[in-house]
């Protein structure tokens, strides 16, 4: 096995450890030790493989566990503790920039939430980004602004939806710029706040998709096995098809067991373009890491 592949495997092992122990007070030194690397080298390799820092990855895992728990736990306090937060105050501290809706709103499914949207041209065609005032809730591609507006409305039929007025809000502008930079091959998958609703199974699938390293793919069966439902490959495919946030929840990284691309909500040609672009970006990052 090459040194590059070994490093990637070690990082994936650490990701799985974080998933299983996110409620603990994990430190960079502890995670680096598990990969048998120095803290500096581990942090650099981790970001090259995963696309975000270890701290950002841990925060993302905790937030997604919180979102899942808010729909099933007996109380918000219980969901907070299970996700790794010391108290509900820690949730509200982060809600404005990460969770989007407050915990109580999320438990009610986000009814009454206002969504603003804007469309812009990209190398993969017209893209529409929808967001609440605290997180991205929709990213999609299509042939016309009207078509994409209808898809957004179908995704959130109870929300109040209106076009974002220019000049865009500063946060929305940052989110648009980050997604555009990703599509241009300048940065890995943007680590942006998400504000999406899902069934518990969909959330399990989407959460796992975000752990698939940039430029790599897994089959529907592999994803099913990874979330503890080895016979649910068809359900995984359906969860991928229901993903409302292209790129941010990277369902394009899931293919058929035969190696064929399979379907994609936004078109198979775009799926191929995204995979090829990510692989090219990953190769450049790996080369720069070896040179430094």
CA–CA distance, 197 with 71 (Å, rounded to integer): 10
Query: Dihedral, CA atoms, 193, 51, 128, 134, nearest 10 degrees?
Result: 10
- 73 three-state secondary structure: coil
Among candidate residues 140, 156, 162, 171, the one with its CA nearest the CA of residue 247: 140
Report helix, strand or coil for 43. helix
Per-residue pLDDT of 22-33, as tens digits, reads: 777 789 999 999
Q: Which of 133, 151, 183 is the last residue of a domain?
A: 183
In-domain check, residue 194 = no
Residue 149 sits in the same domain as residue 242: no
CA 16, CA 84: separation in Å to the nearest integer?
A: 16
Distance separating alpha carbons of residues 246 and 252, to the nearest angstrom = 8
Question: What pLDDT is stored for residue 97 in this prediction?
Answer: 39
pLDDT value, residue 225: 92
Q: Quick one: which of 36, 33, 31, 40 has its CA closest to 7?
A: 36
State residue 156 phi and psi, 5-degree precision: -130, 70
165: DSSP letter: P
Q: How far apart are CA 292 and CA 111, in angstroms?
A: 49
User: Is there a domain that residue 188 lies in?
Assistant: no
Within this chain, do residues 130 and 73 fall inside the same structural domain, yes or no?
no
Query: Is the domain of 16 the same as that of 68?
Result: yes
In which residue ranges of the chain is pLDDT below 50? 1, 73-74, 84, 86-103, 105-109
pTM of the model: 0.62
Q: Which residues pair with 163 in a beta bridge?
A: 117
**Into how many domains does the chain fold?**
3
Position 69 scores a pLDDT of 61
For residue 56, the model assigns a pLDDT of 82
The confidence score (pLDDT) of residue 141 equals 95
**Does residue 251 have an active-site annotation?**
yes
Answer whether residue 153 is part of any domain: yes
Answer whether residue 123 is part of any domain: yes
Give the domain CATH number at 160.
Answer: 3.30.160.70
Co-location of 7 and 100 in the same domain: yes
Report the alpha-carbon distance of residue 231 to residue 211 in Å, rounded.
Answer: 21
What is the 3 state secondary structure string of 142-164? Answer: ECCHHHHHHHHHHHCCCCEEEEC
Q: CA angle, corner 255, sides to 250 and 20, nearest 5? A: 55
Using DSSP's 3-state secondary structure scheme, residue 136 falls into strand
Which of 67, 83, 107 delimits the end of a domain? 107
CATH number at residue 205: 1.10.10.10
Element (H, E) at 56: helix 54-70
Domain identity same for 45 and 126: no
Domain boundary among 77, 107, 137: 107
- What is the span of the domain harbouring residue 262? 200-291
pLDDT in tens, 181-195: 888 877 777 878 888
* Distance (Å) of CA 130 to CA 111, 135, 145: 16, 9, 12
Looking at residue 67, its pLDDT comes to 64
- Active-site option among 15, 137, 240, 251: 251
């Amino acid at each position: 096995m090459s040194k590059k592949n070994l490093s990637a495997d070690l990082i994936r092992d650490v990701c799985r450890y974080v998933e299983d122990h996110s409620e603990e007070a994990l430190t960079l030194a502890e995670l680096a030790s598990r990969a048998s690397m120095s803290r500096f080298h581990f942090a650099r390799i981790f970001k090259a493989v995963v696309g975000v820092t270890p701290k950002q990855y841990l925060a993302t895992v905790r937030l997604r566990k919180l979102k899942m728990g808010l729909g099933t736990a007996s109380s918000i306090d219980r969901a907070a503790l299970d996700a790794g937060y010391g108290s509900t105050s820690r949730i509200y501290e982060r809600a404005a920039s990460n969770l989007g809706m407050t915990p109580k709103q999320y438990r009610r499914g986000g009814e009454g939430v206002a969504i603003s949207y804007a469309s812009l041209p990209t190398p993969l065609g017209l893209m529409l980004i929808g967001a609440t005032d605290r997180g991205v809730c929709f990213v999609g591609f299509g042939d016309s602004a009207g078509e994409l507006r209808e898809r957004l409305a179908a995704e959130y039929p109870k929300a109040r939806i209106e076009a974002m007025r220019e000049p865009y809000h500063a946060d929305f502008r940052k989110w648009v710029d980050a997604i555009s930079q990703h599509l241009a091959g300048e940065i890995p998958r943007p680590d942006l706040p998400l504000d999406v609703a899902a069934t518990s199974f969909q959330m399990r699938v989407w959460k796992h998709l975000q752990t698939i390293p940039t430029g790599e793919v897994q089959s529907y069966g592999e994803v099913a096995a990874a979330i503890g439902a080895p016979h649910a490959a068809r359900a995984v495919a359906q969860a991928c098809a229901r993903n409302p946030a292209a790129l941010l929840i990277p369902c394009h990284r899931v293919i058929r067991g035969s190696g064929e691309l399979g379907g994609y909500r936004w078109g198979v040609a775009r799926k191929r373009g995204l995979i090829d672009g990510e692989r090219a970006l990953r190769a450049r990052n790996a080369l720069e890491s070896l040179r430094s």
